Amino acid sequence: MRVVTTLQKIASQQLPFLLSLPAFLLQGYFLLIPLAFIVVISVTSDALGGQWLFTLSQYRDLCSSMHMKVIFNSAVLSCIAGGLSLLIGYPVAYYLAMRAGRMKHALLVFLILPSWTSFIIQVYSWFYLLQKHGLFSSFFYSIGLTSEPLSLLNNYGATVLGMVYCYLPFMVLPLYTVLEKMDKRLLEASADLGANAWQTFTHIVLPLSHSGIRVGLALVMVPAFGEFAIPDLMGGVKDLYVGHMIMEKFLVFRDWHSGAAVVMLSFMIPIVCVGLWYLMSKSVRYVQGEE
Amino acid sequence: MNKNIRFEGITKYRDGEPVLQKLNLEIRSGEFFVLLGPSGCGKTTLLRILAGLESADAGRLFLGDADITHVPIHKRKIHTVFQQYALFPHMSVSENVAYSLRVRGIANNEIDDRVAHALRTVRLGAFGKKSVTQLSGGQQQRVALARALVCEPEVLLLDEPLAALDRELKEQMLMELVDLQQKLRTTFVYVTHDQFEALTVADTMGIMNRHGNIEQLGSAESIYEFPHSRFVADFVGRTNIFDGKLRVTREAYYIDVDDLGSFVLNVTPEITWLLSGMQLFLSIRPEKIDISLQKMEGFSNELMGRVISMIYYGRSTEYKVLLANGQSIMVFEQNEHHFPKKSIELGDDVYLYFQKENTVLLRH
């Protein structure tokens, strides 16, 4: 009898852990173990006789100007995608959380709906919209804006458009969550104390939504850094990105060691950036803006 | 300068239902005004219209001679202490208090002085650098007060400000509010559903009924002692109501209560609406009734009944006495002696006495 109750007690105490165990195991097996392999592969080289030797030469090679250019391209694209998603996503999230009223759930579903389809299908849809004789170019031609049907694909603008389109929900959702949970009485208090709408936004809403901005930027910029499908399909392989480099190293050159080093890099740079930013925003207290 | 607040015909609908209908009210400048009413009666709506958080569907609002009906909230010199304080969680105590000065673009050194002064006024002088989330309920309350008062508003609104505090702290804060108001002479408009808070602080009270009308306006004493209606008599303090018919004879006025008998009334000249045979109510407060095991002399009205419940509060005892007509009434007795000669027990038959001067006649 006592054994049973003791077991029950242990079971009830450990239940959350037991329930989350499958997730831990999956993550461990499919993420952590492969990741460990990548780490090991990235710091070793094939020596004669099949022996793996420790080396940092792959990382040293990454410092070459060609590689740096690719990393720079990815970083710029990631920043543009993050910045634009924030600028476009913030008003959307604000409207949904503060003004949409009963419509907000329906509107939220519309926002997320495209991301329920495959990523590649979304990109291809844009492909058909933007190509020569596609919807947009035909429209521009028919209203006389262009003298002949032009392809709107294969340029940097198309890349940015595709990136922002695909990643926007990942910016809007965390912003929406934080704005929705915000105590609206604080906004009333701010107005009551004499602040106009803009002051209330900059002094109260913006600082209190920092966490949402941070999560949104991380969710957009980290995958955007490694993205290559969108620049490839919509930007027409004009610039090379980290994603290309990984594919090339593994599939073209069959050089797993330098490929793994690029993976590590594309993985570490955003993490380090987000981490640094998090520490900074934690230590620097919000300083009130001027009138 | 006259800075009276005047509501003229204020009407407000919510979801098609009227919350306030053609409400007229004048609040004198520099007084501690309490708007008392049951939950959901529209008193908070009236306060929010005054603050500028909501706009009325009809009617006008004046502050002094200025029509402020359409003045936007941030341009009104009317600040609010909110029910849950609504302190800005990302700012320190000082930054919270400084907010209204900062958004008005006042110079930093002046802000510092005024914030320090405001914090001293609410006895939080040493708390400036603390985060508001570290403070206790009472301290947060004081920060909210300092924040609303720092730029010297013409009116301070308090929306059930003490609802979240325990009783002891509440009593202490009420005293501090009265002191503060007497020192500053700012018009305070305080909204509450708690008659204890209202009676403690009010210079003038307005009693709002469930339909959003001001049922009675007056000092705390006048409202408690001379309620105009059953609603006011019941809502402010506790009372016993007898429902009866007026009988006028040459000598006196009486009210006849079915199955119970008649009571002599005290009719003052200002009560002009009395007609013999009219149906009306008699209100007698529980503390104005004497309870005794023996017959006594010298009272205008007498009743008999049986004690059906007793609650001993220490300084007083509350008796519930069942009368001949099946109605039960409340009686409060002060416990003035250590050893009363003979104490009343549950189930005792008792005599109840009250003077006609202590009764109030109510039409509705």
Report chain B (364 residues): mean pLDDT per 10 consecutive residues: 88 90 92 92 92 93 92 93 92 94 93 93 89 90 93 93 86 91 93 91 93 91 91 91 88 86 81 79 92 87 91 89 91 81 82 90 84
CA B297 distance to own-chain centroid: 37
Radius of gyration of chain B (CA): 25
The closest alpha carbon to B288, from B217, B237, B222, belongs to B237
Interface test with A, best of B91, B103, B132 (most A CBs within 10 A): B103
ipTM over 0.90: no
B249 and B169 both lie in a single domain: no
pLDDT at A291 over 60: no
The residue among B73, B77, B131, B132 with the most chain A CBs within 10 A of its CB, best to mutate, is B73
Q: Hey, are the CB atoms on A183 and B86 less than 8 Å from each other?
A: yes
Residues A191, B53 contacting (CB under 8 angstroms)? yes
Note whether A102 contacts B: Cβ–Cβ < 8 A.
no
For range A258-283, the mean pLDDT: 81
β pairing state of B261-265 and B155-159: unpaired
Residue whose pair of structure tokens reads 């600040």 in the numeric block:
B79
d(CA B274, CA A34): 95
Distances (CA, A) of B118 to A19, A290, B124, B156: 54, 22, 9, 14
Question: Which residue in chain A has the smallest CA separation from B77?
Answer: A194
Domain identity same for B254 and B275 = yes
| Amino acid code (one letter) for A235 | G
Model confidence pLDDT, tens digit, residues B31-63: 999 999 998 888 999 999 999 999 999 999 999
The pLDDT of residue A100 is: 81
- CA distance linking residue B310 with residue B300, whole number of Å: 25
Residues B116 and B264 in one domain: no
pLDDT in tens, A59-94: 888 888 888 888 888 889 999 999 999 999 999 999
Residue A34 has pLDDT above 80, yes or no: yes
Judge whether B182 is closer than 8 Å to chain A, CB to CB: no
* DSSP 8-state assignment for residue B162: T
Within 8 A of A203 by CB-CB distance, chain B residues are 88, 99, 102-103
Same domain, residue pair B24 and B107: yes
Q: Could you tell me the pLDDT band of residue A282, with boundaries at 50, 70 and 90?
A: low
Q: Considering B235, B261, B292, which residue would you say is the last residue of a domain?
A: B235
Same domain (yes/no): B248, B229: no
Query: Can you point out the beta strands (E) in chain A?
Result: 44-46, 52-54
CB B51 within 8 A of CB A192: yes
Nearest-neighbour CA in chain B from A176: distance (Å): 19
Which pTM was predicted?
0.79
Chain A / chain B CB contacts < 8 angstroms: 68
Q: CA B96 to CA A193: how far, in whole Å?
A: 10
Pair B24, B146 in one domain: yes
Question: Is B63 found in the same domain as B94?
Answer: yes
Name the A residues in 197-236 with CB < 8 Å from any B CB. 199, 203-204, 207-208
Q: Is B86 on the interface with A (CB under 8 A)?
A: yes
Determine whether the interchain pair B99/A195 forms a contact, defined as Cβ–Cβ distance below 8 Å. yes
Cβ contact A188–B53 (<8 Å): yes
| B141 shares its domain with B215 | yes
Q: B148 CB near a chain A CB, below 8 Å?
A: yes
Show the tokens assigned to B38: 């049951």
| Domains identified in chain B, total number | 2
Question: Which domain does B94 fall in, by range?
Answer: 5-235
The CATH number for B114's domain is: 3.40.50.300
Question: Which residues, other chains included, contact A249 with Cβ-Cβ below 8 Å and sequence gap of 6+?
Answer: A255, A256, A258, A259, A262
Q: Are residues B195 and B62 in the same domain?
A: yes
